[in-house]
């Protein structure tokens, strides 16, 4: 729903202009994009939902909005998991992806912490080698 310029980069690739799914400001007024206020814009609910289901859906949508964008939420989850499950072989890659997502997201709040954990616990991993920097 970004206008007036559609995304040209395939969705499975990182867009250097920050038009990535994990940004909470996709569709906002940043960089000339259209502002989408979730409290104003409403696409409505399918007719098959009853009143209770509509209330539940609205509450779930509010909870998701409260989490913030993925560049805020996912790195926190990765850091929490990585600290508790050091032996999990998926952690180095997840930390690498967290640092990278923060580079192309709108938040770098946990970038240094994810970078430090990656290089401290997995210094010789391919993921540490692919993550030479953290982003402020």
**Tokens for 81?**
């998991």
Is residue 7 situated within a structural domain?
A: no
Count of structural domains within the chain: 1
The pLDDT of residue 125: 97
Is residue 75 situated within a structural domain?
A: yes
Minimal CA–CA distance to 41: which of 20, 27, 56? Answer: 27
Minimal CA–CA distance to 28: which of 73, 68, 75, 77? Answer: 68
In whole angstroms, how far apart are CA 4 and each of 15, 17, 18, 29, 69?
Answer: 17, 14, 15, 11, 22
**Tokens for 12?**
């499975």
Is residue 109 situated within a structural domain?
A: yes
Residue by residue, pLDDT tens for the chain (136 residues) are 445 566 677 766 777 666 665 555 444 434 433 444 555 445 678 889 999 999 998 898 888 778 777 777 888 899 999 999 999 999 999 999 888 887 766 667 788 999 999 999 999 999 999 999 988 7
pTM of the predicted protein model: 0.64
The pLDDT of residue 122: 98
Domain of residue 79: give its range: 70-129
Is residue 102 situated within a structural domain?
A: yes
Is residue 41 situated within a structural domain?
A: no
Is residue 16 situated within a structural domain?
A: no
């Amino acid at each position: 729903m970004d206008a007036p310029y559609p995304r040209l980069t395939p969705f499975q690739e990182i867009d250097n202009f920050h038009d990535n799914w994990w940004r909470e400001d996709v569709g906002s007024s940043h960089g000339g994009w259209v502002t989408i206020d979730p409290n104003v814009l409403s696409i409505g609910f399918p007719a098959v939902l009853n009143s209770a289901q509509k209330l539940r859906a609205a509450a779930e949508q509010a909870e998701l909005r409260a989490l913030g964008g993925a560049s805020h939420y996912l790195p926190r989850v990765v850091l929490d998991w990585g600290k508790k499950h050091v032996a999990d072989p998926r952690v180095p890659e997840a930390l690498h992806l967290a640092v990278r997502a923060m580079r192309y997201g709108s938040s770098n709040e946990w970038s240094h912490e994810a970078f430090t954990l990656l290089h401290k616990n997995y210094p010789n991993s391919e993921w540490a080698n692919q993550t030479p920097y953290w982003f402020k």
